[in-house]
Each structure stands twice: as C-alpha cells, then as structure tokens.
C-alpha cells in the first residue's frame, strides 16, 4: 500500500504551524516508525499536518485513547499514534567505537569514547545527533549514524504504517516492544534476594515483574517454574521477548532466568544472595551460552 506523506516536520523545522499547547507533562519519546504522520487531532479522521521520522525526539503533552499530543523542540504541536512512540527510557546500541561529545557536532570536545556494542539511554535528538546517557551516568552527544535503537519488536514484519489505527496493543509485536522497553528501564537497579520490584529484583522477580506489567503475562514466582511456562523455543530461533532459563548452580536444573533482547544478548537481574549484582545485559556467548538450558515463548 502506498502511503502519501505530507510535508515533513524536522526537529528544528518551522515550516508547519500545528498550534501551541500548554505542556502538561514533560515526558519524552522517540519515534520508532519509519515515518509517522502528525495529525491535527487524536484520530485517523483528522488532517495530516506533517511527518516525523524514526529517531526523532518529542515531548509528550497529553494522551487521548491511544494517541499522544506531542511537541517538538521548536514548539510546534500535533497528534500521533502512541503505538509508534517509545517513551523514555529509550535505548540504543553503538555499532562502532564512538566519541561522546559535549554538543551536537564534531566541533565539540570529546567527553568519553564508547565501545562498539555498548547500550546507552537516548534522551534527545537534534538533526543527526542523539543526546545520550551512558551506564556510568556520563551525558553527551553522539552521531545517530552509529546508534541502533534497540527497544523495538524483533520480527521483521513490525507494522510501521503511520496510518494504522491506534490503541491496538494486543498483538505480539506490541507486546515485544513493551517488554523490552520495561526491561531496559530497569537497567542498573540492584539485585536483592526475594525482591519483586520495582526498585530491586532477584532474577525471577525481575522477569515476573516485566512480563506482568508490560504484557499482562502472569508467571510463577520461581525460576524453575517459569521455565515450564509458554511453549518451547529452539535456542537457534530466538526472538526478542523470549524467556531464557539457565543452570547456574546445578547442571541441568533451572536456577536463573532472563529475557532475550536480540543480537545474542539478554537482560537479567544478575547476582545471588551472597553476591548481589544488578539488572544488566550480558552476551549468550561464553559462560551464559554454556549454561543456557532453553527458551520459552510466552505470547
């Protein structure tokens, strides 16, 4: 289906006048669709006033039945489907070693250097630059060319049609995105034995919290019972959002769980009662690949 997209709204553009609005909440969001129509009101029956593109940052002013009233950095406002706006925390992964600069441009000083594969929080965009925050709480600007947004659904058939109806969060792609978003938002929170969140977790408390609050999926409390949920998935056919289970104590017996996030990586509440750690991302290569018992698909 060919989509006719009207005039573009760049983050710094002043070409459109969508009207001003009082900012009720300064929540941020990142566009996840390839192209997203901005309308004059909350619904498909309203006129298309412009278009946003993947990676554009917006402020969320209001919500209305699956639609967000958004504001750009130049003050223009309009309505977009909430399905294609990922609220912060929004995360990206570096595709190369990458300089973090004090401003949006190569003329600004270098604050630090990220290694390829590092995950950062994206807080703002300006032209082809992202303002980011690292896991060590360093803030700065990086070229968006070398950042891949990772809190999107895993399958190749994600519906990025900006004219799609809003508010339908029941399909697998929407659940995947919600699960990854919520899981990533917990990065850095401490491991506490027996904790169920939202401020601290143990491994099965973390997975139960994420699946329940992001997708309405209720899991048993303990890891070896969670490993019986859903349906078996081959570890050679993993998709984002799959539950992974591991034998980290006794060979062949589930004692740890996490959530697959793509690119051979998973997120989990790492640690034990004697050696607590935090919610973090690890690779399935090396140790965790050796102790991986299997995967379950829950939706």
Query: pLDDT tens-digit profile of 42-78?
Result: 988 888 887 787 777 788 888 777 788 888 766 778 9
Tell me whether residue 224 is in a domain.
yes
For the chain, the distance separating the N- and C-terminal CA atoms, rounded to the nearest angstrom, is 28
Find the CATH number of the domain harbouring 88.
2.30.30.40
Tell me whether residue 15 is in a domain.
yes
Distance between CA 7 and CA 37 in Å, rounded? 9
Residue 25: the pLDDT is: 39
User: Is-catalytic flag, 108?
Assistant: no
Residue 173: the pLDDT is: 79
Q: What is the mean pLDDT of the chain?
A: 79
Residue 133: the pLDDT is: 83
Higher-confidence position of 126 and 112: 112
Tell me whether residue 163 is in a domain.
no
Tell me whether residue 166 is in a domain.
no
Q: Are residues 3 and 133 in the same domain?
A: yes
Residue 137: the pLDDT is: 76
Say if CB 83 and CB 58 are below 8 A apart. no
Distance between CA 36 and CA 162 in Å, rounded? 4
Tell me whether residue 167 is in a domain.
no
- Percent above pLDDT 90 for the chain: 38
Q: What is the pLDDT of residues 181-220, one digit of tens each?
A: 889 888 899 999 999 988 899 999 999 999 988 888 899 9
Q: Looking at residues 89-98, what average pLDDT do you find?
A: 80
- The one catalytic residue in 46, 51, 108, 256 is 256
Tell me whether residue 122 is in a domain.
yes
> Which of 119, 136, 158 represents a domain boundary (last residue)?
158
Q: Are residues 213 and 91 in the same domain?
A: no
Q: Are residues 232 and 257 in the same domain?
A: yes
The two tokens of residue 118 are 């590092």
Q: Residue 205 phi/psi, 5° resolution?
A: -65, -35
Q: Is the model's pTM score more than 0.75?
A: no
Q: Is the pLDDT of residue 158 over 70?
A: no
> Which of 127, 158, 189 represents a domain boundary (last residue)?
158
The two tokens of residue 245 are 């289970």
Tell me whether residue 165 is in a domain.
no
Q: How many domains does the chain have?
A: 2
Higher-confidence position of 20 and 188: 188
Q: Are residues 151 and 204 in the same domain?
A: no
Q: Are residues 146 and 32 in the same domain?
A: yes
Dihedral (CA of 240, 245, 248, 252) sign:
negative
> Which of 96, 127, 158 represents a domain boundary (last residue)?
158
Q: Are residues 154 and 188 in the same domain?
A: no
Residue 160: the pLDDT is: 34
Residues 6+ apart with CB under 8 A from 228: 220, 296
Residue 85: strand, helix, or coil: strand
Omega cis (within 30) before 101: no
Residue 255 lies in domain: 172-297
State the maximum Cα–Cα separation within the chain, in Å, rounded to a whole number.
Answer: 63
> Which secondary-structure segment (H or E) carries 245?
strand 243-246
Q: Are residues 130 and 177 in the same domain?
A: no
Under the banding of pLDDT at 50, 70 and 90, the label for residue 102 is very high
Q: Are residues 145 and 205 in the same domain?
A: no
Tell me whether residue 290 is in a domain.
yes
Which bin fits 160, alpha (ψ -120 to 50), beta or left (φ > 0)? alpha
Higher-confidence position of 151 and 25: 151
Residue 294: the pLDDT is: 96
Under the banding of pLDDT at 50, 70 and 90, the label for residue 10 is very low
- The one catalytic residue in 46, 51, 108, 268 is 268
Q: Is the pLDDT of residue 91 over 80?
A: no
């Amino acid at each position: 289906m060919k989509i006719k997209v009207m005039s573009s709204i760049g983050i710094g553009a002043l070409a459109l006048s969508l009207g001003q609005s009082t900012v009720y909440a300064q929540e941020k969001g990142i566009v996840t669709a390839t192209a997203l129509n901005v309308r004059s009101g909350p619904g498909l029956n309203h006129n298309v006033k412009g278009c946003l593109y993947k990676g554009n940052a917006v402020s969320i002013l209001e919500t209305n039945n699956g639609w967000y009233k958004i504001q750009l950095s130049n003050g223009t406002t309009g309505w977009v489907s909430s399905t294609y706006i990922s609220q912060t925390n929004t995360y990206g992964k570096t595709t190369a070693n990458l300089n973090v600069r004090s401003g949006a441009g190569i003329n600004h000083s270098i604050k630090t250097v990220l290694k390829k594969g590092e995950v950062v929080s994206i807080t703002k965009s300006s032209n082809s630059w992202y303002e980011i925050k690292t896991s060590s709480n360093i803030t700065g600007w990086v070229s968006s060319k070398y950042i891949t947004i990772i809190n999107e659904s895993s399958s190749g058939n994600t519906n990025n049609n900006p004219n799609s109806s809003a508010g339908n969060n029941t399909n697998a792609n929407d659940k995947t995105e919600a699960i990854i978003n919520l899981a990533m938002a917990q990065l850095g929170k401490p491991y506490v034995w027996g904790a169920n969140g939202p401020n601290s977790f143990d491994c099965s408390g973390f997975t139960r919290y994420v699946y329940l609050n992001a997708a309405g999926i209720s899991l048993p409390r303990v890891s070896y019972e969670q490993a019986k949920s859903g349906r078996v998935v081959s570890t050679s056919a993993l998709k984002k959002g799959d539950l992974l289970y591991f034998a980290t104590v006794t060979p062949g017996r589930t004692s740890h769980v996490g959530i697959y996030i793509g690119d051979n990586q998973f997120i989990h509440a790492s640690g034990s009662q004697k050696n607590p750690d935090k919610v973090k991302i690890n690779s399935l290569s090396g140790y965790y690949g050796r102790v991986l018992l299997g995967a379950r698909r829950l939706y």
